[in-house]
């Protein structure tokens, strides 16, 4: 067994109860934050060593080589940090999913227990009987409503023809009363005066038409027109 395996074996035997998912997630997030800061530090160191190597260049090759060696070591550490961070992130995501599944399962279990407790005092036979009774009572209520809505005919069995004949008699009586109250105008006792005879023979000499003389002037023509109109 490797030393690393022996170390974890001793650590597991000494460990207390397993931490809760919330505690483990908090530790993993802290580890991610620490590794992220370590990444930033290594990247800044690598950039500084690279700038130092460029500055020395061919003028101071030993210093430039030492800067490049430090850069390589830092890049190796950065690569290890990247791998470790990926592993921690994967573990955190797996633990979050497991915690979510656990909470969902717990909630579903509580819901199942609640439904079982709610249905514990329910009997299907009693439910069927209750629904049948409700249906019957609804039918009774409907019949009562229909009975109330129907018109009651207490002593109203009359002959429609007889009622119409009586109504016509009443209308005729009312019409006769109106006719008796109407006053006609009196007929005159004396005879009307005779109309005057308007034949040409009854007219006087002056009214008889005379033969039209020949036109002599405009004034005479106008007098003849007035005479003809009066005679007609």
pLDDT digits (tens, 9 = 90+) for 88-119: 999 999 999 998 998 999 999 999 999 888 88
**In the chain, what are the domains?**
19-123 (1.10.287.1060)
Average pLDDT of 13-24? 74
The single residue listed with the structure tokens 């060696």 is 69
pLDDT at position 217: 46
DSSP assignment string, 23-43? HHHHHHHHHHHHHHHHHHHHH
Average pLDDT of 140-167? 76
Contact 215, 221 (CB under 8 A): yes
pLDDT at position 215: 47
pLDDT at 174 over 60: yes
Rounded distance, CA 49 to CA 1, Å?
41
Surface-to-core class of residue 136, CB atoms within 10 Å of its CB (0-12 exposed, 13-18 middle, 19+ buried): exposed
pLDDT at 158 over 70: no
Contact 47, 36 (CB under 8 A): no
Q: pTM for the complete prediction?
A: 0.43
pLDDT at position 31: 92
């Amino acid at each position: 067994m490797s030393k690393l395996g022996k170390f974890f074996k001793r650590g597991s035997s000494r460990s207390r109860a397993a931490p809760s998912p919330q505690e483990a997630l908090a530790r993993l997030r802290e580890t991610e934050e620490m590794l992220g800061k370590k990444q930033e530090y290594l990247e800044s160191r690598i950039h500084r060593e690279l700038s130092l190597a460029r500055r020395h260049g061919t003028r101071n090759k030993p210093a430039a080589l030492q800067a490049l060696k430090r850069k390589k070591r830092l890049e190796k550490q950065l690569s290890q940090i990247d791998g470790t961070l990926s592993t921690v992130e994967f573990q955190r995501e797996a633990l979050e999913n497991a915690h979510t599944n656990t909470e969902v399962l717990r909630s579903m279990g509580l819901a199942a227990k609640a439904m079982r407790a709610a249905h514990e005092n329910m009997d299907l036979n009693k439910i069927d009987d209750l629904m049948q009774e409700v249906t019957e009572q609804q039918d009774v209520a409907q019949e009562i409503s229909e009975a109330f809505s129907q018109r009651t005919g207490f002593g109203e069995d009359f002959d429609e023809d007889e009622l119409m004949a009586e109504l016509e008699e009443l209308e005729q009586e009312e019409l006769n009363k109106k006719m008796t109250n109407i006053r006609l105008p009196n007929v005159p006792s004396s005879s009307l005066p005779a109309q005057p005879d308007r034949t040409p023979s009854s007219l006087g000499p002056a009214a008889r038409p005379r033969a039209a003389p020949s036109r002599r002037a405009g004034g005479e023509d106008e007098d003849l027109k007035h005479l003809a109109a009066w005679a007609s």
